[in-house]
Amino acid sequence: MTYYPLNLVEKELGMDIEKANQEAVERMMEARPVLVGLGKAIDVIPGMKDNLLLHAGPPITWERASGPMRGAITGALIFEGKAKDMEEAQKLVESGDIELEPCHHHQAAGPMAGVICPSMSVYILENTTHGNKSYSNLNEGYGKVLRYGAYSEEVLAKLRWMEDVMAPLLKEAIESSDGIDIRSLLAESLHMGDEGHNRNKAGSILFTAKLAPLITAVTKDNKAASEVLAFLGENALSVLNPVMAACKAMSDVAHGIEGSTIVSVMARNGTDFGIRISGLGDRWFTAPVPTPKGLYFPGYTEEDASGDIGDSTITESAGIGGFAMASAPAIVNFVSGTPKDAINTTMEMYEITYTEHKYFTIPSLDFRGTPTGMDLRKIVEKNITPRINTGIAHKEAGIGQVGAGLVRPPITLFQEALLAYAEHYKIS
Amino acid sequence: MTYYPLNLVEKELGMDIEKANQEAVERMMEARPVLVGLGKAIDVIPGMKDNLLLHAGPPITWERASGPMRGAITGALIFEGKAKDMEEAQKLVESGDIELEPCHHHQAAGPMAGVICPSMSVYILENTTHGNKSYSNLNEGYGKVLRYGAYSEEVLAKLRWMEDVMAPLLKEAIESSDGIDIRSLLAESLHMGDEGHNRNKAGSILFTAKLAPLITAVTKDNKAASEVLAFLGENALSVLNPVMAACKAMSDVAHGIEGSTIVSVMARNGTDFGIRISGLGDRWFTAPVPTPKGLYFPGYTEEDASGDIGDSTITESAGIGGFAMASAPAIVNFVSGTPKDAINTTMEMYEITYTEHKYFTIPSLDFRGTPTGMDLRKIVEKNITPRINTGIAHKEAGIGQVGAGLVRPPITLFQEALLAYAEHYKIS
């Protein structure tokens, strides 16, 4: 493997990589995603079709899909009334009657399997700085949930309650407001022990506390409103999906900057780990997913774990999540390690990022900005891969979450992308 | 001043101070205060009378009362319909028609001036471990508020809205629940960047998120309920008063242990700083209050500051507040200093406390328990006084808050108490 010392040759080429990267991270940080509404995916997500399912990570086929991804696809098709079981689901997908495309191709991001189907409601965010929109579905909470590949009647019943009771109320509440500024909510939650990916306790209750007066003002069914508020307030991941959509809006505007070596997207589908580079267009660089290391729920071990899965690494891509772990020392009870490890994680990420965030700061590090904008050159040159906090799904369809932990993508991904960069920009 | 090496002489006296202190701190930590209801002070606080006002700190007279205390007394008497202005209030108090007694004499605690009048609603907490109850009034939020000595029509209007609209709704909501466990809420908020005295952001939204489904379920006026939820969610001190009542319930059961040198109460009335010692009954030891050092709001300086005031030091007495400041690095933006100072504050408090809290832990210190149970002997022997986070009131009645900062009580208080201890227990 050859490494290119790109920072030395750029001047000769008349290309200013530093300037391109600076522009990319400035755009990422100045993006201001505001939650402005809610709608059915089919009605609001650009390019969504009646026979399309969106999913986490880079493109995938049924054949290569992991257990939890197959489970979530099956559940979504049952939810849509298009299949009765996994066998029918498989036929629909393999025949091409049902198509699969990444959330990331549709301005969306979904946690774990990340399956978004046409009649599922999604949050609508608008980046008020640059005007782009982004989307994510509603968080289902814990236990047996679609995003971890479970699809029993219990899972479907909850999805229907979310769609029929919660979504219309959230829609009316959000639309009655001036919007909920998710960047500002994240900045606040990072001062309250969250890192924004795997610990969203503070963010979720901030979100609930902001929604409560809106929901109470618009509802015509107080019993239902009370149940929705209890569901939001007791789910420490309520805000994860709007946060992921916010990070997607931020990273989308950092993408497509000519000459930039910023890694604008990391995403996993349970089979492949994919990245995209700002200056290399829509190409995905992929490699087999690793399995996270972490803490398992009682009765489960690493033997049960699916490969790494989910679009939630969009948080790390935007400078929070594992990168902001120093903000969230209490997370080690959930993902393993010690508070010192949490600080070390953030400190190491400064070595591979381009800047320190203007708005996301870490009190315990003297309010230093979070490490933001992964620089492909630094990752390869220093041989330091990004650190990610993540949930762990069971490897078989239909089971659900088995733990939470830490994971790093393979270095080969970044090496391959750097070679492609050199080729594209004719650096030899 | 003579110091008594009490830890050396106790054996000779056949007295086991260590055992007494261990019992005091065990009781303090095992107390489990649960918010169970709300009621008018006159109906629920033991010993409350129609012509009685409770106030923060040790006993005080009108003559010796500070500006903010006089302002709050005046506002409370206007609220009760017993006075029209400060002149009338002064006459009523000086004539003895209106009596003043410390909140602490009535199982209550109030922030800043801490004035609780008969027709004001108070939270009712019950310590489910030992059965004792405690009380505190409702938090008014920021700006011009009674507890900081403001008493204009704006202040009174808000108090009336709180009494007429918010209190009945809170009462019904709380009574419809199994109670809200404030010890557990505090433990959680300490993992979310709060210290429980001057930073209660996380606790207040946890409180709001718990109340939201209850309020929405019981209300018959959704507009009012929405306003109450917005008021609770936007006030980062919403939970301060229930927290203070919880700490009062904890410290009350640590008080009155024969032979114990634990400082069970610290409280200030704006003129005197008072402490009580577990093994020395109901006697107050008092000294003139110092003025806090901190950050002032625009337009104000230390020249404007009242002397230290409020029962909120009950939080430090119970092992949180300034003692848990390492949990809340972001607080330094409010009270001055650096995140390192916040850690140093907690570390220093370990030197003068008897134990580390079982339930209140600090993630960034490897989940070490907070320094709990001030030991009078250690304070005097090491000449280290407790560190307190506090709000700062304007020294004149009618103005309000001018800043926030840090303060330490005078060492003479503790020296005097230790001499009294030696005398009481005949240690010579």
Q: How many domains does chain A have?
A: 2
Q: What is the C-alpha to C-alpha distance for residues A334 and A295, in angstroms, rounded to an integer?
A: 7
> What is the pLDDT tens value at each position of chain B, 428 positions in all?
455 556 656 666 667 899 999 999 999 999 999 999 999 999 999 999 999 999 999 999 999 999 999 999 999 999 999 999 999 999 999 999 999 999 999 999 999 999 999 999 999 999 999 999 999 999 999 889 999 999 999 999 999 999 999 999 999 999 999 999 999 999 999 999 999 999 999 999 999 999 999 999 999 999 999 999 999 999 999 999 999 999 999 999 999 999 999 999 999 999 999 999 999 999 999 999 999 999 999 999 999 999 999 999 999 999 999 999 999 999 988 888 899 999 999 999 999 999 999 999 999 999 999 999 999 999 999 999 999 999 999 999 999 999 999 999 999 999 999 999 999 998 86
A249 domain-assigned? no
CB contact under 8 A, B338 and A212: no
CB contact under 8 A, A330 and B201: no
CA distance B324 to chain A (A): 14
Minimal Cα distance from B337: which residue of A? Answer: A366
User: What pLDDT does B333 receive?
Assistant: 86
Interface test with A, best of B186, B214, B216 (most A CBs within 10 A): B216
User: What pLDDT does B25 receive?
Assistant: 98
Whether the ipTM is more than 0.90: the answer is yes
CB contact under 8 A, B213 and A219: no
Q: Are B347 and B363 in contact (CB under 8 A)?
A: no
Asked whether residue B15 falls in the same domain as residue B99, the answer is no
User: What pLDDT does A14 receive?
Assistant: 65
Interface test with B, best of A176, A218, A227, A229 (most B CBs within 10 A): A229
A267 domain-assigned? yes
User: What pLDDT does B326 receive?
Assistant: 97
Q: What is the C-alpha to C-alpha distance for residues B25 and B9, in angstroms, rounded to an integer?
A: 22
Q: Which helix (H) or strand (E) holds A343?
A: helix A339-350
User: What pLDDT does B399 receive?
Assistant: 92
Q: Closest Cα to residue B98, out of B115, B122, B110?
A: B115
CATH code, domain carrying B377: 3.90.1700.10
Q: List A394's β-bridge partners, or say none.
A: A305
Q: Are B400 and B394 in contact (CB under 8 A)?
A: yes
Q: What is the C-alpha to C-alpha distance for residues A182 and A188, in angstroms, rounded to an integer?
A: 10
Asked whether residue B25 falls in the same domain as residue B58, the answer is no
Asked whether residue A204 falls in the same domain as residue A319, the answer is no
A1 domain-assigned? no
Asked whether residue B24 falls in the same domain as residue B37, the answer is no
Which residues of chain B lie closer than 8 angstroms to A363, CB-CB?
193, 329-330, 332, 339
Interface test with B, best of A364, A366, A367 (most B CBs within 10 A): A364
B24 domain-assigned? yes
CB contact under 8 A, A330 and B363: yes
A248 domain-assigned? no
Asked whether residue B274 falls in the same domain as residue B165, the answer is no
Asked whether residue B14 falls in the same domain as residue B112, the answer is no
Q: How many interface pairs between A and B have CB atoms less than 8 angstroms apart?
A: 112
Within 10 Å of residue B179's Cβ, how many Cβ atoms? 16
B1 domain-assigned? no
CB contact under 8 A, B193 and A210: no
Asked whether residue A196 falls in the same domain as residue A132, the answer is yes
Asked whether residue A36 falls in the same domain as residue A149, the answer is yes
Which tokens in the block code for residue A210? 């902001």
Q: Environment class of residue B141 by beta-carbon count within 10 Å: exposed (0-12), middle (13-18) or buried (19+)?
A: middle
Enumerate chain A positions whose Cβ falls within 8 A of a Cβ in B: 188, 191-194, 201-202, 205-206, 208-210, 212-217, 219, 222-223, 225-227, 229-230, 232-233, 329-330, 332, 338-340, 363-367
Residues 6+ apart with CB under 8 A from A238: A139, A200, A204, A207, A208, A231, A232
Domain end: B193, B220, B243, which one? Answer: B243
CB contact under 8 A, B212 and A202: no
Which residues of chain A lie closer than 8 angstroms to B229, CB-CB?
209, 212-213, 216
Asked whether residue A218 falls in the same domain as residue A313, the answer is no
- In this complex, which of A192, A214, A332 lies closest to B202 when CB atoms are compared? A192
Asked whether residue B306 falls in the same domain as residue B390, the answer is yes
- In this complex, which of A192, A213, A226 lies closest to B193 when CB atoms are compared? A192
Q: Closest Cα to residue A262, out of A361, A187, A371?
A: A371
User: What pLDDT does A54 receive?
Assistant: 98
DSSP H stretches of helix in A181-239: 182-190, 201-218, 222-234
CB contact under 8 A, B217 and A201: no
Domain end: A243, A269, A297, which one? Answer: A243
Q: Closest Cα to residue A146, out of A198, A84, A202, A76?
A: A76
User: What pLDDT does B1 receive?
Assistant: 46
CB contact under 8 A, B216 and A225: yes
Interface test with A, best of B229, B238, B334, B341 (most A CBs within 10 A): B229
Domain end: A189, A213, A243, which one? Answer: A243
Tens-digit pLDDT profile for residues B263-302: 999 999 999 999 999 999 999 999 999 999 999 999 999 9
Tens-digit pLDDT profile for residues B211-229: 999 999 999 999 999 999 9
Which residues of chain B lie closer than 8 angstroms to A364, CB-CB?
329, 339, 364
Q: What is the pTM of this model?
A: 0.95
Query: Which residues of chain A carry a pLDDT beneath 50?
Result: 1
Q: Closest Cα to residue A95, out of A47, A58, A63, A66?
A: A63
Q: List B388's β-bridge partners, or say none.
A: B407
- In this complex, which of A193, A212, A332 lies closest to B193 when CB atoms are compared? A193
Which residues of chain A lie closer than 8 angstroms to B365, CB-CB?
339
Minimal Cα distance from A330: which residue of B? Answer: B363
Residues 6+ apart with CB under 8 A from A155: A75, A140, A144, A145, A146
Minimal Cα distance from A343: which residue of B? Answer: B364
CATH code, domain carrying B177: 3.90.1710.10
B383 domain-assigned? yes
B249 domain-assigned? no
Asked whether residue A21 falls in the same domain as residue A39, the answer is no
Asked whether residue B168 falls in the same domain as residue B258, the answer is no
Backbone angles phi, psi at A49, to 5 degrees: -130, 160
User: What pLDDT does B4 receive?
Assistant: 59
Domain of residue A57, residue span:
32-243
